[in-house]
């Protein structure tokens, strides 16, 4: 895949803007510590489930990823709703 110079410049500008305006982005993004923790927990739990389903159970990668994400979301729902 060949990248055009305008794409490279656009990506570079976006990264520089994000670094320079990080305080503004953090304050006005609508995401807080609880959302970041929730996302991190979801990703780590999904990776653990993915390893379990693909390496131990022997599922293919695609279905393992789908079942892992679904299992993580279901476990999150049970913890939040059922307490």
pLDDT digit string, tens, across residues 3-41? 676 777 888 888 887 778 777 767 777 777 788 888 899
Residue 50, Ramachandran bin (φ over 0: left; ψ between -120 and 50: alpha; else beta)? alpha
Cβ neighbours around 59 below 10 Å, total = 17
Query: How far is 15 from 20, CA to CA, in rounded Å?
Result: 9
Please answer whether residues 69 and 52 qualify as being in contact, where contact means their C-beta atoms are separated by less than 8 angstroms: no
Query: How far is 17 from 24, CA to CA, in rounded Å?
Result: 11
Indicate the pLDDT class of residue 2, thresholds 50, 70 and 90: low
pLDDT digit string, tens, across residues 61-78? 999 999 999 999 999 999
Taking the model in full, what pTM does it have? Answer: 0.63
């Amino acid at each position: 895949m060949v990248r055009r110079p305008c794409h490279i410049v656009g990506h570079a500008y976006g990264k520089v803007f994000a670094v320079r305006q990080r305080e503004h982005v953090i304050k006005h993004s609508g995401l807080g510590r609880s959302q970041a923790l929730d996302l991190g927990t979801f990703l780590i739990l999904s990776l653990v489930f993915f390893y379990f389903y693909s390496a131990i159970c022997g599922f293919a990668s695609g279905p393992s990823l789908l079942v892992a994400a679904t299992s993580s979301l279901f476990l999150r729902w049970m913890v939040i709703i059922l307490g």
